[in-house]
Amino acid sequence: MYPEKKHWIDSTIDRTINNKIYMGDYERYKYDSDRETELFMDVVPPIITRAMWEEVQNKKRKIKEPIVEIEFISSLKNLYVLLVVK
């Protein structure tokens, strides 16, 4: 009766938050390794501001920084994992 729910996957989210078209810019040849990417600014009406787009990029960079360091400590019979929060 109801359509099947679709779930967001990591690659879809990543592609979306990295796409400059949402702030009005078009990247030509972005996925062509034989050519240099050409950036055309303000070619379509933006749906987010440049400031919002930059804020997302900054948050992504912070997320990639490790916040937990994993140390493995072995004993004679057991293996323990120690999580050290930075």
Residue ranges of the domains in the chain? 10-85
Which DSSP symbol is given to 71?
E
Amino acid 67: pLDDT: 52
Per-residue pLDDT band at 81 (split at 50, 70, 90)? very low
* pTM, two decimal places: 0.59
**Residue 53 half-sphere exposure, CB side, CA atoms within 13 Å?**
15
Residue 82 tokens, joined: 């120690």
Contacts of 17 by beta carbon, 8 Å cutoff, 6+ apart: 56, 60
pLDDT at 66: 58
Cα Rg for the chain, rounded, in angstroms? Answer: 21
Specify the higher pLDDT residue, 45 or 12: 45
The alpha-helical segments, DSSP class H, found in the chain are: 10-17, 50-64
Asked if residue 78 has pLDDT above 80, the reply is no
User: For position 46, what pLDDT does the model report?
Assistant: 92
Judge whether residue 61 has pLDDT over 60: yes
Task: Mark out the alpha helices in 18-84 (DSSP H runs).
Answer: 50-64
